[in-house]
Amino acid sequence: MTVSDTDQIDALASLAAASLTLWDVPVDATVRLINLSENATYLVESPGGFRMVLRLHRDGYHSRRAIECELAWMAALASEGGVATARPIPGRDGALIQERGGGGLAPRRMVMFEFLAGTEPDPDQDLVAPFRQLGAVAAKTHLHTVSWVRPHPFERLVWDDETVFGPHATWGDWRAAPGLDVESIARLEAAEMLVRERLAAYGRGTDSYGLIHADMRLANLLIDGGRTRLIDFDDCGFGWFMYDFAAGISFMEDDPRVPALRAAWLEGYRAVRPLSAADEVEIDSFIMLRRMALLAWIGSHAGTELARSQAPHFAFVSARLARDYLDRCG
């Protein structure tokens, strides 16, 4: 998220509203911002009960081809993998991806999705059952990607140690996050080195590395009648399968319930797909990798509401998690 996006919320809303004519929606439909992160996401609704979800892609984050690949995987998961996903709605011209600019904004790529019923899990409630279901969903996505013949060319992000720690990290340098001091940086640098060493030894076999959702956190889950549904594949890309659990506990890695959630997730996963002892052991490294990716995200997305809410304590807790990781896995 660039600073200009957070500074142009009104312009984005105007563009979203003006773009509704690209789809077959009621003339009295309105837009309401429901999330501003990498992209701007709007609820499209009308008094007659019509509901859809419109995503305005951040300029420069994904190419048109990358978005096409995301939608292709979502469709394949729904039709072949047994994973319910939100169906993209074609525009009046039949295209799933639309583009329009205006109001001082360069043309933005847009996708309209069907509205799925359900509510985001309340982090203060019992999450064991949702995480058990989430583990099963993750296993289904991994089973599917192992055998899926991807369209060519296939373009998506990569979530590995180089794209988190390297000089061209997707979300920037974690050292630029607010609240870091010399001692914290030293501890986190030691954790980075250990993560790199352990993941190099773990390897990238086809049974442990492939196409993943990469953002299975609470904000991207919908609970409907006891069923956990997965939304927002915008960050899907190539990475280690166990990274999906680490993403699931994003922003709550220090929660005392995490061991129970981890056990529930693994139980759900194993009911669908087997795991090796090495897979389970290395989850700690993926939790640290994801935490440091989020540390970089907070520094590079400082204008978002989520980054502002996390900034006062995120660096301190991250350093403590790094200490614990080094003690446990070093």
3-state secondary structure of 159: strand
pTM over 0.85: yes
Q: Read off the tokens for 228.
A: 């956990």
Each residue's pLDDT tens digit, 7-61: 788 999 999 999 999 999 999 999 999 988 889 999 999 998 999 999 999 888 9
pLDDT category at 172 given cuts 50, 70, 90 is very high
SS (H, E, C) 171-236: CCCHHHCCCCCHHHHHHHHHHHHHHHHHHHHHCCCCCCEEEECCCCCHHHEEEECCEEEECCCCCC
Distance between CA 154 and CA 174 in Å, rounded?
28
Predicted pLDDT at 103:
82
Domain spanning 3-114: CATH superfamily? Phosphorylase Kinase; domain 1 (3.30.200.20)
* Residue 1 confidence (pLDDT) above 50: no
* Residue 240 confidence (pLDDT) above 60: yes
Predicted pLDDT at 283:
98
E strand residue ranges, 2-68: 30-36, 40-45, 51-56
Distance between CA 68 and CA 79 in Å, rounded?
17
Closest CA to 131 of 211, 250, 235: 250
CATH of domain 128-329: 3.90.1200.10
Distance between CA 122 and CA 145 in Å, rounded?
30
Each residue's pLDDT tens digit, 79-132: 999 998 999 999 999 999 999 998 889 999 999 999 998 888 888 889 999 899
3-state secondary structure of 98: strand
Domain ranges of the chain: 3-114, 128-329
Each residue's pLDDT tens digit, 186-209: 999 999 999 999 999 999 999 999
